[in-house]
Amino acid sequence: MSKDDTAGCGTADYADLLANMEEINRHCCKLFEEMGQGKSELPPADPFNLTEAMMKLGLAMLADPGRLLETQAELMQDYARLWSQMAADWSGGEEKSETVSETGAADPVSPARKRDKRFRHEAWSENPLFDHLRRAYLLVAEHMEKSVIENSSSLSAKEAEKLRFFTRQFIDAMSPSNFLATNPEALEETIATRGENLVRGLKNILEDLCRGNIRQTDTEVFEVGVNVATTPGQVIFRNRLIELIQYQPTTDRVFRRPLLIIPPWINKYYILDLEPENSFIAWAVDRGYTVFVVSWVNPGAEMAETRFIDYMYEGIFAALEAIEKAIGEREVTALGYCIGGTLLAATMAFMAARNDDRIKAATMLVSQVDFSEPGDLGVFIDEQQLEALDRKMAARGYLDGSEMAGVFNLLRANDLIWSYVVNNYLLGRDPYPFSLLYWNQDSTRMPYAMHSFYLREMYLHNNLAKPGALVFDGVPIDLGKIKVPIYLQSAREDHISPCPSVFKAKRLYGGPVRFVVAGSGHIAGVINPPAAGKYYYLINDQEPDDFETWMATARKRPGSWWNDWHNWLFRRSGRKVPARVPGEGGLQALEPAPGSYVKIK
């Protein structure tokens, strides 16, 4: 390349940079305009009811000034060590160590924190400046969390849990990886593209503001019924709350007792039928089960007064009656996922009190019935927060799905919020097409009456776990009256239905319970087809009643829990009978699966 060519290239680069800066300025003006046109109503000054807990924490720190000074001194000493290491790196002196200090003391930053995937780019470890920035941030994060924990003794358990959670939120938000000036990968991209990544990032911000959430996947790639939720079947029943789908058999003979699946209505049912290779529904059909699935309607304001027990009557009971009309079979096995399992448990207790024995065995997937230790979700549940939420839901008639999704995203903020801030806004890239995240963003609304009851009676008061504390139409609800076999599945890394919380159901059901712990979390721990060869599951034939003992003595098996579940269920599903074709029994087919309700936005 000649000198003239080089000069021309530089001029072109500079022109491109100026053009991108002008475009950035234009998008910034548009962004400020959009933000200025936001809601006039100001949010509550303390939406999470943190003020009192923070004041108590501050008083606890001031009450022991000696300990406060000691904590500050420890931080300064650790900071001095990092500065010393940075100086050595810059001077080309001794090779830095991330495990042992000059005095032989252990590095204050824990090994687990150093493996933080936010800092995978090589510059975070190879560039002395960014390496120091990374390690200083991790060090301060550790000290902040430690200080909150050490000074929480004067707080209630609820207050301490809430402060720890929101301290983590603050720490995650302040990560240097989230800011252009302190993210080496974003700086490299800005230089390489002459600022075009920032133009794209601002466009993405504007689009997300209009949409109301951060885009986690390419939503244009997927379409319900086309490349997700594609297992063949027919809608055979519909009321105002559900469509009931019966799936096309793939075997000549099937188990006599059909399988009724009750998915959560917090999200749409097709998490169980994402794509052919990971569809739990298709896999169960291939094992010889006649599968029926409830597809819940996405409610609007017209359903504001729909109650929790309406989900029982118009959901589970309506489905049981429709199944009997469709195939002439009164007895079923049932499966409930998340809140669908909570509803199934309450319904089975109601049925047991009335000597209704149509459900002969039940599977509960990551489903809580004892909410005394609900994990991080508990920080959003107290009287003040629920009163504010009630006012909001009463005004609209429902809780918007984006608000529920926002809470779930906070439980894993680094994965579900900040990683997309970096990818979409700083790097200016489109998120990768991923069917699970497409489903995650296809959120649903919650009727006011139902959701208020659920949060208060389950999360706040834990009444489902107390025999007789809940009464449905004059029937006291007692889980101990459920005598049928239960398959209770949980997930080791579940942030929504924590494993120890799910385990508590073992002591509440009155019949035999097989408890299984899957690897991964609330979704991946459930949607794990055997062919994938991923994760693991734990079983314990001794079935001790203490969770820690159960975990310590459990046996680990590689892969999916699905085969273990099938081996448990087929023995409770009756003899084999000729396969039933949807629409050829007592109920006609209304329309092909996935139906209409699942497509309501």
> For residue 465, which amino acid is it?
A
- Other C-beta atoms closer than 10 Å to the C-beta of 393 total 23
Cis check: omega of the bond before 447, within 30 degrees of 0: no
Q: Is 338 considered catalytic here?
A: yes
For 208, half-sphere exposure in the C-beta direction (CA atoms, 13 angstrom radius) is 21
CA–CA separation, 483 and 509 (whole Å)? 7
Nearest residue to 197 via CA among 12, 29, 423? 423
CA–CA separation, 214 and 27 (whole Å)? 18
**CA distances (Å), origin 210, targets 34, 35, 159, 199:** 9, 10, 35, 17
Cβ neighbours of residue 508 under 8 Å, at least 6 residues apart? 369, 370, 465, 479, 480
Q: How many residues does the chain have?
A: 601
Angle, helix 196-211 to helix 184-193, in steps of 10 degrees: 110
Does residue 185 contact residue 94 with C-beta atoms inside 8 Å? no
**Residue-by-residue DSSP string for 472-513:** ETTEE--GGG--S-EEEEEETT-SSS-HHHHHGGGGT-SS-E
Catalytic residue among 9, 29, 338, 499: 338
State the residue for tokens 């109503």: 41
State the residue for tokens 């990683």: 419
- Annotated catalytic residues are 338
